[in-house]
Structure 1
Amino acid sequence: MNFYFNEFEKRKPPQPTPHSLPRELLYQYLATCNIFLGLWYLIWRWGFALNYEAMWFSFPLAFAESCAFIGTILFTFNLWKTKDEPKQNPPKTINECITEPMEDRPLSVDILFPSFDEEPELVELSIKDALKVTYPHEIEIRIFILDDGKRPEMAALAKKMQVEYITRDSNIGYKAGNLRNALEQTYGDFIVICDADTRPFPSILENTLGYFKNPDVAWVQTPQWFFDLPAGERLPLWLKKRLGTPVGWLGSVIERFYGPVTLGRDPFANDPQMFYDIIQRRRNWANASFCCGAGSIHRREAVMEAALRSYSRQISKEHDAVEKQIRKLTKEKQVDSNISLNLRQEIIFDTEFTPYKFHVSEDIYTSLILHSDTERQWRSVQHPQVESKMLSPQDLQSWTVQRFKYSAGSIDIFMNDNPLTKKGMNLKQKLMYGASFWSNLSAIWNIIFLACPIVYFLTSIAPVSAYDTTFYMHFLPFVITAELAMMVGTWGVSGYQGKTNFLSFFPVNLRALWTVLRGRKISFPTTPKNRQKGRFLHLVIPQIAVLLLSLASMLFAWYAYSTQTFGDYSLGGLILNSFWAINNMMAMWGMIAAACWSPPSANMPSQIKVEELNYGIE
């Protein structure tokens, strides 16, 4: 089949950024300076720089700055240092991976491909690559298609590829339920979890099973790499195609001064290198890198043990709650032992045993359960090397569905099973998980940051006591050291597009927060693997509104200042808020451009009609 990504098949994944101790020490110095300067700024901000004549404006901004600063502290802690788990030679037998020796034998590994509605031709590519996985020692590798779609064509594919096929009668628990059903019918010592489009490299087991020589390692997450990201066009060629050769020459002049400029490359900021190579990798030192699903390798013993303990705690919790209600109704001090026993058995009968938590974010939820296991203190490893390739969302609708699912799932866990109050995890782990969940609440203060320059331009009311020298003496050192620390801390990985998308993500993030607060159930939509046909401007109406309001209000304020026809603007306030508004507009423009982006039609033979987006809410 002529897939759009055929032309990208020969692409090579990026190498992990090399660790540099001098750069790490420089980052720690700059980040520490930034934290102290931030505290200095906020103490001054709350104590001396509030505009008491406009507290309706000044207080929300100070609140937003404080919330963002908490995020800065958590992010600094996350990026503090790199401590990769030492790589070990692949084990030869099972006894090298367990504490209590047993009858020795070669390892057994199950490679699982959960599927629901993906094209069989796409899954076939993944199976072909899985069949190429090698290992330097004797090993039993079994490959399974876990078909939740109950499709005859998938069963025929499994037979054709000579791999195992598992299906079930219902779709309870979606992917997590699909995995649980597979665990009941398989026996591998280790489980490789793939998505339907995950194409494992031959080296995935050879390079990762060595970590399991430490019997406390529960899972290893490998970086996800989207090999199909658009390559983009250099500015001179882009201008030449659309405006002719003379304007194309102008693009060459611009690049001579500015450096290479590429347009249309990864319009959705899908490149996960920042997340895996920086954020996840630097959680190794705190044993807090979490599972992200595809490309992860799990120790079966760990998943089952932690699940059994969690299951037991859940039964006991429900049993105690029901007995409490019975005692309250009967006024008895103790429930009859026979009634109590029957009640417990009924609860056990009604409660599902779920090795992988039935949740829209089952991967991070399972990580929480394992990291909080008080009896085993399971460890996780973020492996730095890419060991598989997969497909990225190819349109804004698919991207939005995926981001909504991630955000809502994380917020739901934060609200209903907060890791900060969970027993079994140490403070470092709680802070790392807290950083992930806190970032998903950022839309609350990001809206304030987007609105503030607009309010100032339209009213000339400042959110601070004055845009004077004292303000800049407190504000600029904090902002400059923050940018320097970020640049040094993420050296070698581009982060600008990710930062701007983080800001422009606010409508989806707010929708996710509101969904969780209302107690609405979040469904488990699969991310489409084909590009959805059409433009998606209806998804970026809030971003368009912010861009137009920012631009119009900025022009109005400068006109009013130059003609002295309205308000009481200060030049310093106008300059600062203009930079602020331009940054906001650039962030919004990235998302708007993504809504209009489409690849060359020749490369997109398979397209699907767009249905109205529901963000995966039931």
Structure 2
Amino acid sequence: MDFYFKEFEHRKPPEPVPHSMPRELLYQYLATCNLTLGIWYLWWRWSFALNYDAMWFSFPLVFAESCAFIGSVLFTFNLWKTKDEPRKSPPHTINECVAADSPEAGEKRPISIDVFFPTYDEEPELVKLSIEDAQKIRYPHDIEMKIFILDDGRRPTMQALATEMGVEYITRDNNVGFKAGNLRNALEQTYGDFIVICDADTRPFPTILEHTMGYFRDPDVAWVQTPQWFFDLPEGERLPQWLGRKLGRWASGLGRGVERLYGPIKIGEDPFVNDPQMFYDVIQRRRNWVNASFCCGAGSIHRREAVMEAALRSYSEQISKEQSEIEKQIRKITKEKHVEKSVSDNLRQEIIFDTEFTPYKFHVSEDIYTSIVLHSDTERNWRSVMHPQVESKMLSPQDLQTWTVQRFKYSGGSIDIFMNDNPLFRKGMGLKQKLMYGASFWSNLSAIWNIIFLTCPIIYFFTSIAPVSAYDVTFYLHFIPYVLTAELAMMIGTWGVAGYKGKTNFLSFFPVNMRALWTVLRGQKISFPATPKERQDGTFGHLVIPQKIIFGLSLISMAFAWFCYFTGMFGSYSLGGLIFNSFWTINNMMAMWGMIAAAYWTPPPSAKKQEQGSEELEYGI
């Protein structure tokens, strides 16, 4: 089978951004200035800058600004400093990975590792590529490594592939718990000391074990997460070639002229902003210093003992919680202060009988859920490590529909945990860990205030009613220093990783984010659909209707307001208000346009065809 990503196999992953202490200190200085100015700005907004004649408009905006500032505080703490875990040499035997009082201490046997590839409906040829790469994993010492295909699709073709490749095959007669259930079923039938979790499209590098197993010399390290890297991200098409392909040969000259003035321009470069480097190299990596980097599934290595202990603790907590709730109902009915011990014991036995032991929580975000359980374990003090170097490659969503499904799962899973089992109220976690997890959950509530930020300039343009007391010099003296220091701090704090697209994508993400929030609030479960590995046919304009509406209203309202200002036909606009809201609106429109363009994006011709087309344009053929 000829996969679309064949032409990208030569690509190499980016190196981790080198740590710079001077840059980190500069970031901390700028971030501190920004937070100080933010407090000053919000105090002024709440105390002196509300428009009391339009509180229906003024209050939502200052509320949104306050919520966004809380997010800025949490994000600043997340980015505060980098402290990579020192790399250690790979252990020879299992006794080098366990505590001195462990039953396995002193054992000289080789380490055993199970590599899991959960699959449901992926093409066998795709899984075969992953297995081939897994079989190339090397280790400097003797090791017992087994590779398992965990087939929830129960397909004879997949079983035949396992036989052909000489790897193990595990299936089950149901799909309870989906991926989490698939992993649980595999854990019950395997015995490796450590588990490497991959997705069906995860292609591990030969170095994944020799670069990560050294961390497990610390017996408290429960898992190591490696960065996920999508090697198939569209590189985009240079503007002259794109114009020539769309409009004809004459347009390529126009494109070359534009590039001479502006520099190289690429159309369709990573249209869905899938590049995860910001998340792994900046956000996750900088959680190492407070032991709060969470598991993200694929590309992670787990200590089996930790997984099982987490499951036992979660199992016990679930039983105790259910027992407490039922006994509360019994006391309410009987009017007794206590439930008899014999009744309580019988009740607990019934709950144990009805409750399944689940090493991986049956949850759409089972990876972060397991991380929370381990990080809050007061008896073991389990640690996590974010390894900064890419050790595998995988496939990215190639259309907006697939991207939407994936992001809905991520956002909904996080919100569900935040609403129903919030780690901020769990015993065992330190304050710094809670703040790190809080940053992740808070960002998934952002649709609430992002909608306000998107609609406020539209309301101002159509009504000429200002959400602040006045767009005067005092407003700008408070606002501009706050915004400038925020941008400077962000630029220094994320140095080496492009961030603008991520910020605009975050703003345009609001419909998916809001849908996920609404789903959880209604008590509905977030579904577990497998993410397709091939591009879905067609375009997906229906998925960006909210973004189109915001874009259209922003453009029309801005034109309307400037027309009224120059003609005096309607309203009482101030020049300062128009300029400020115009910049605000243009930023919003650029964010919406990125998502709208992604809905209609189609892969450009193959690299070979592009090269041929470029030569034709160059020689005027």
Q: Deviations over 1:254-284 (max 9, x none)?
A: 3334332211111000000000000000010
1:507 aligns with 2:511: yes
Partner of 2:24: 24
CA distance in 2, matches of 1:331, 1:462: 58
Partner of 1:63: 63
Shift of 1:354: 1.1
Q: How does 1:149-168 map to 2 (within 5 A)?
A: 149-168=153-172
Q: How much identity, in percent, do the aligned residues show?
A: 78
CA distance in 2, matches of 1:331, 1:453: 58
Shift of 1:316: 1.9
Q: Deviations over 1:535-591 (max 9, x none)?
A: 100000000000000000100111110111111001111111001100000000000
Instruction: Give the aligned residue type for 2:90.
Output: P
Partner of 1:9: 9
1:427 aligns with 2:431: yes
1:383 aligns with 2:387: yes
Bigger Cα displacement from structure 2, 333-342 vs 169-178: 333-342
1:406 aligns with 2:410: yes
Give the conservation status (yes or no) of the 8 Å contact 2:237–2:604: no
Shift of 1:306: 1.7
Partner of 1:237: 241
Shift of 1:246: 4.9
CA distance in 2, matches of 1:335, 1:462: 61
CA distance in 1, matches of 2:237, 2:118: 36
CA distance in 2, matches of 1:280, 1:367: 13
Partner of 2:615: none
CA distance in 1, matches of 2:551, 2:329: 55
Partner of 1:568: 572
Aligned residue among 356, 362, 367 for 2:366: 362
Q: Deviations over 1:572-612 (max 9, x none)?
A: 11111001100000000000000000113669xxxxxxxxx
CA distance in 1, matches of 2:462, 2:26: 42
> Structure 1-normalised TM-score?
0.96
Partner of 1:177: 181
Partner of 1:143: 147
Shift of 1:252: 3.0
Partner of 1:328: 332
Unaligned 5+ residue runs, structure 1? 604-618
Partner of 1:608: none
Aligned residue among 448, 455, 465 for 2:452: 448
CA distance in 2, matches of 1:376, 1:240: 63
CA distance in 2, matches of 1:570, 1:313: 60
Q: How does 1:306-321 map to 2 (within 5 A)?
A: 306-321=310-325
Give the conservation status (yes or no) of the 8 Å contact 2:111–2:144: yes
Q: Which SS does the other structure have where 1:532 is aligned? A: coil
Q: Deviations over 1:395-421 (max 9, x none)?
A: 000000000011011000000011111
Q: Deviations over 1:27-57 (max 9, x none)?
A: 1111110000111100001100001111111
1:600 aligns with 2:609: no
Give the conservation status (yes or no) of the 8 Å contact 2:450–2:507: yes
Instruction: Give the aligned residue type for 1:147.
Output: D
Partner of 2:45: 45
1:89 aligns with 2:71: no
Partner of 2:614: none
Bigger Cα displacement from structure 2, 342-351 vs 63-72: 342-351
1:264 aligns with 2:256: no
Q: Deviations over 1:413-468 (max 9, x none)?
A: 00001111111000000000000000000000000000011001100111111110
Instruction: Give the aligned residue type for 1:46.
Output: W
CA distance in 2, matches of 1:468, 1:71: 27
1:480 aligns with 2:487: no
Q: How does 1:70-109 map to 2 (within 5 A)?
A: 70-100=70-100, 101-109=105-113
CA distance in 1, matches of 2:300, 2:250: 51
Distance 1:48 1:168, change over 3 A: same
CA distance in 1, matches of 2:331, 2:549: 57
Aligned length, in residue pairs: 604
Q: Deviations over 1:118-158 (max 9, x none)?
A: 11111111001001100000000000000111111111111
Q: Which SS does the other structure have where 1:111 is aligned? A: strand
Instruction: Give the aligned residue type for 2:87.
Output: K
CA distance in 1, matches of 2:147, 2:484: 52
Partner of 1:606: none
1:252 aligns with 2:264: no
Instruction: Give the aligned residue type for 2:33.
Output: C
Aligned residue among 342, 347, 361 for 1:338: 342
Q: CA RMSD in A?
A: 1.4
Shift of 1:337: 3.6
CA distance in 2, matches of 1:478, 1:336: 61
CA distance in 1, matches of 2:338, 2:468: 61
CA distance in 1, matches of 2:337, 2:532: 56
Partner of 1:113: 117
Bigger Cα displacement from structure 2, 313-322 vs 578-587: 313-322
CA distance in 2, matches of 1:58, 1:118: 51
Give the conservation status (yes or no) of the 8 Å contact 2:93–2:107: no
CA distance in 1, matches of 2:461, 2:552: 13
Q: How does 1:481-500 map to 2 (within 5 A)?
A: 481-500=485-504
Shift of 1:245: 4.7
CA distance in 1, matches of 2:328, 2:49: 53
